[in-house]
Amino acid sequence: QVQLVESGGGLVQSGGSLRLSCVSSTLNFMFWHMAWYRQAPGKQRELVARVSADGVTNYADSVKGRFTITRETKNTLYLQMNNLNPEDTAVYYCHADHSLLNRTVWGQGTQIFVSS
């Protein structure tokens, strides 16, 4: 019953890049607001980047200019992360929101660790 599956996490050196992927076999992302969240140990989950169903993007101030969210197919979402730093270390979650249907879907999360 898993609807969102993330991949692409791992260990990377400071200054490096990673690309996260989120894929669904059941959701059509064109009808959902998609987003990436992250949660560091001991901290609240926070919004990193989002793209609305009509393509409008929004980024947290801490990642502006470094991260890019894209929805390239109806069921594939990416987060390109460049110039990573240790403060980006967290579990990253794919998220889908359908406000009209009052439904939200979370992925299982993928761990990102940025070494100094």
Tens of pLDDT along 3-12? 899 999 999 9
pLDDT at 92: 98
**Is residue 1 over pLDDT 80?**
no
Cα→Cα distances 93→77, 116, Å: 12, 23
Determine contact, residues 64/83, Cβ cutoff 8 Å: no
31 SS3 class: helix
pLDDT 10s digits, 46-91: 999 999 999 999 999 999 999 999 999 889 999 999 999 999 999 9
**What type of residue sits at position 1?**
Q
pLDDT at 100: 86
